[in-house]
Structure 1
Amino acid sequence: MFKPLLMVGLLAASPVMAQPGAADRHHYPAGQAATVDFSLQERSPRGGRTTSIYRTYRPNVSFDGGPRVECVVAVPGGGGVAPGTTRRITLTCPVPLREGQTFEAFERDRPVGTGVVTAPL
């Protein structure tokens, strides 16, 4: 005679639903320049900078609170990003990025800016 199998834990293993609109978000592969809105913080006891950043700037960046990676900044149209301002720039990183992803930029252990990945221009 066959014994019925006990199905334990099947409900707990159900798939997780994606957030509404998540499929419509743009994804950037690792190494591709991503468009971001970047806010450079003014110098304070917590961090920030006293000088502008330019296209050769290479901050350590943490996406969504994850591990830090070195990225490369490009400022479209030249010029720079002054402390206390927000500007749309491109960021090239060795990890894939997605639209809506937030990040924090660091110089050593000092936070210097924040931003969000946006759709391509």
Structure 2
Amino acid sequence: MKKSIILLLILGSQILISCNQKPDVDKILKDQETKERIFKSIAENHEYMTEFMETMHNNEHAMQMMMNNNMMMNNMMGNKNMMYQMMNDSTKMHNMLQMMHQKGIISNTCFQSCMENMSTKKTSDNKE
């Protein structure tokens, strides 16, 4: 009887200890499907996104990355010759829009709209 009580106490304590373990965040984020679900959940939830943005603003590395992206965009927009060439080269324009979409600079809706506009422009240019 004493042995079974001791065994139950040991088993019970092991169960309680295992329930209190924190998940390994790096391990969770290495699974691409799980990571995408987490990112999507954050992006689609206003409260989560607000908290995430506050966290980014308080993180030096995140702020540096955002500043670098802004500088790159400002440099591109300030270079009129390069912008003119890109606007007249559908391959370059498509590549730039795709890169911006992948980096989260433009939304999926904006990307699709730009693709449609480029397609319409290409069609109207061919008619002339």
TM-score, normalized by length of structure 1?
Answer: 0.26
- Which has more helix, going by share of residues? 2
Greater RCO, CA 8 A, separation 6+:
1
Choose between structure 1 and 2: higher strand proportion.
1
Pick the structure with greater CA Rg.
2
